[in-house]
Amino acid sequence: MPASRKQHWNEVYAKKSPESLTWFQPRPETSLTLIRSAGLAREARLIDVGGGTSLLTSVLLEEGFQHLSILDVSDRAIELAKTRLGNRASEIEWYEADLTTFEPPHRWDLWHDRAVFHFLTVEEDRRAYCRVMNHSVEPGGYVVIATFALDGPTRCSGLEVVRYSPESLHAELGGQYEFRGSLAEDHRTPTDGMQRFVYSWFQRAP
């Protein structure tokens, strides 16, 4: 349901400032740790799917990465992110699209997703996600996906989620991705709540 998905997230971003949203991170250290572990050149292509107003791309720009992309279903989130980046927004490739129907114009060396996949409660949507990812990630490229852990929340932003272990997530992605490791994260929300995430790292077969 792309239209209602877009409407839902636009309403979320309209009601709260980016810094007050439950998933806000002043600095996305766990994502940065896994991205750095890939050892990619600064010329590599990286995409943050569901990137919204995350500060991840800002940090990667500061570290010298030259080919960064953000995909989000919410045009409001994208406009907020562009405003925050100012002149540097022109250095980013922006895609306003529902990920399950996205048609990638090229491939990326690393695919990063913090908390999109766990919102896909319908199997058809998860299959569509994987199809798009398969068309987006270079052979030998990397995938970092963060979801709520098995003992994490069952709902977020008014929506149900699916919780994962690294093993169950790997099973969803299919055999062409090799599991490289995982990290647990206890994320403290701006209202001092706690959400348990698991970050899983994969490499696509060459």
In whole angstroms, what is the distance from residue 39 CA to residue 199 CA?
18
pLDDT digits (tens, 9 = 90+) for 84-132: 999 999 999 999 999 999 999 999 999 999 999 999 999 999 999 999 9
Q: What is the mean pLDDT of residues 187-201?
A: 93
Collapsed DSSP state (helix, strand, coil) of residue 206:
coil
Q: Is the pLDDT of residue 11 over 70?
A: yes
Q: What is the mean pLDDT of residues 145-154?
A: 97
**CB burial readout 101-132, b (16+ within 10 A) else e:** ebebeeebbbbbbbbbbbbbeeeebbebbbeb
- How many Å apart are CA 49 and CA 69, to the nearest integer? 8
pLDDT(179) > 80: yes
Binned at pLDDT 50, 70 and 90, residue 201 comes out as: very high
State the average pLDDT over residues 71-87. Answer: 96
pLDDT band with cut points at 50, 70 and 90 for residue 2 = very low
Note the pLDDT of residue 172. Answer: 97
pLDDT of 16 reads 87
- pLDDT tens-digit profile of 18-45? 888 887 898 999 999 999 999 999 999 9
DSSP secondary structure string for all residues of 79-112: HHHHHHHGGGGGGEEEEES-GGG---SS-EEEEE
Check if the beta carbon of residue 130 is closer than 8 Å to that of residue 144: no
Per-chain mean pLDDT for the chain: 95
Sort 139 into a burial class: Cβ within 10 Å, 0-12 / 13-18 / 19+. Answer: exposed
Quick check: 1 pLDDT over 60?
no
Buried b (16+ CB within 10 A) or exposed e, 17-46: ebeebbbbbeebebbeebbeebebeeebbb
Q: Which residue ranges form the domains of the chain, and what is each CATH number?
A: 2-204 (3.40.50.150)
Q: How far apart are CA 174 and CA 25, in angstroms?
A: 30
How confident is the model at residue 24, as a pLDDT?
A: 84
Q: What is the pLDDT of residue 20?
A: 82
CB-side neighbour CA atoms (13 Å) of 48? 25
pLDDT tier at 160, thresholds 50, 70, 90: very high
Q: What pTM did the predictor assign?
A: 0.94
Spell out a b/e string for 148-168, using b for 16 or more CB atoms within 10 Å of the CB, else e: bbeebbeebeeeebbbbebee
